[in-house]
Amino acid sequence: MDVREFTTGRILVPLLFLALGLIESIHRLVQIRVGYIDLFVDARAVWKPAAHAVLTGTPLYIGHATDNKPPLWQFLNVLVGLTGHYTAVFTLLVGIANATAAILIWRYLRLAGYEKIGILSGVLLLSMIPVVQGRVINVRSFAVIGILVALQVRHPFLKGLAVGSAALMSQYGILAGIPILWTLLNRREGRWRDASLFILGGAVLCLVSYLLVYFMWPDSFVAAVRNSILISGHYATQSAKYTLWETPLVWGGGILRVVLGSLYVFLPAALTARYEVSGRTADPIPLLSIVAVTLLLPLLVRSFQVYWIYPLPFLAALGAFGYDLFFSEGIPGVLSD
């Protein structure tokens, strides 16, 4: 690799994605500052007041600091509150998180031999961020990072740590553990050892996080377990707007809104799926497809736009492969390396 190739591949692409992610966040921040839009409802009604409550002496998960998100998100929320510039800092962090997701999906495909498709994947991902409300302060932009890291680290214990970090940002992050565990169990050698190490990695991080809650706020431990673990099943089954079984037309409208706004990604992704079914597929596509489908499951619970953030990097990658298939008529060589 010459100097120019190194500079382009290792520096300019990440910088481009970082710039795009920050531009999107700065744009939203300006809109908030001038009063054109409000702070996202979850941040305005729950997370910002919770951070203030904790910093003024209220134990986490109790009183005004009550929330149903896992500890890792709560720690980040309080740390941002410490800056004294909650809205600005968190909005910029979301932009950095979105850019990091673009960088990680590009890196994953570059290592698999599809660098140009990886670049297009990152661009498609960031272009869809406004469609799925990905600029708002949210847990999913951070959870996705853990999922993407889990796909790239090799040691199963580290994979477990990465998926654990995703689940400790947002409970739905644990869904990514299903396809990753499946890949480990399909290994020819050491599959049970690797699967055990993977589960152990996630369990260790989970245990450490909840123990930190206990040592920092002893009165909060029971509430933390109850709010972030025990009532999650109730949230998934309770009747509410945007649920498939309660208001199917509203649910379908929420799905359709995102699909129609991102046809330039979904149509080529469908082309990729067609070739996958026929057996003419690139190596990364089956795993990307399985992860994408798995992370679409939360949309069955609520068709919120922000829930699309979970599968977004993988849908973008499938869309990028679709463009490659379209322009090369199924023959590698246009975007493929």
* Alpha-carbon span 22 to 149, nearest angstrom: 21
What's the half-sphere exposure (Cβ side, CA atoms, 13 Å) at 239? 2
* Alpha-carbon span 139 to 288, nearest angstrom: 22
pLDDT tens for each residue of 283-293: 789 999 999 99
Q: Reduced to 3 states, what is the DSSP secondary structure of residue 325?
A: helix
Q: Are 251 and 242 in contact (CB under 8 A)?
A: yes
CA angle, residues 14, 40, 124, in degrees to nearest 5:
30
Q: What is the pLDDT of residue 333?
A: 43
* Alpha-carbon span 316 to 299, nearest angstrom: 17
- DSSP at 282: -
Q: Which residues contact 41 (CB under 8 A, 6 or more apart)?
A: none
The most distant pair of C-alpha atoms in the chain lies apart, rounded to whole Å, by: 62
* Alpha-carbon span 187 to 109, nearest angstrom: 21
- DSSP at 190: S
Q: What share of the chain is helix, strand, coil (3-state, %, to 5)?
A: 75, 0, 25
pLDDT tens for each residue of 226-259: 999 988 666 665 656 667 878 889 889 999 999 9
- Stretches where the chain sits below pLDDT 50 are 1, 3, 331-337
Q: What is the pLDDT of residue 169?
A: 98
Q: What is the pLDDT of residue 28?
A: 97
CA angle, residues 89, 316, 17, in degrees to nearest 5:
40
Give the distance, in angstroms, between the CA of residue 337 and the centroid of all CA atoms in the same chain. Answer: 27
Q: What is the pLDDT of residue 277?
A: 52
* Alpha-carbon span 247 to 245, nearest angstrom: 6
Tokens of 198: 């993977």
Tokens of 246: 């309660």
CA angle, residues 249, 255, 261, in degrees to nearest 5:
130
Phi, psi torsion values for 133, nearest 5 degrees = 55, 35
pTM, entire model:
0.92
* Alpha-carbon span 311 to 290, nearest angstrom: 10
Q: What is the pLDDT of residue 197?
A: 97
* Alpha-carbon span 260 to 250, nearest angstrom: 15
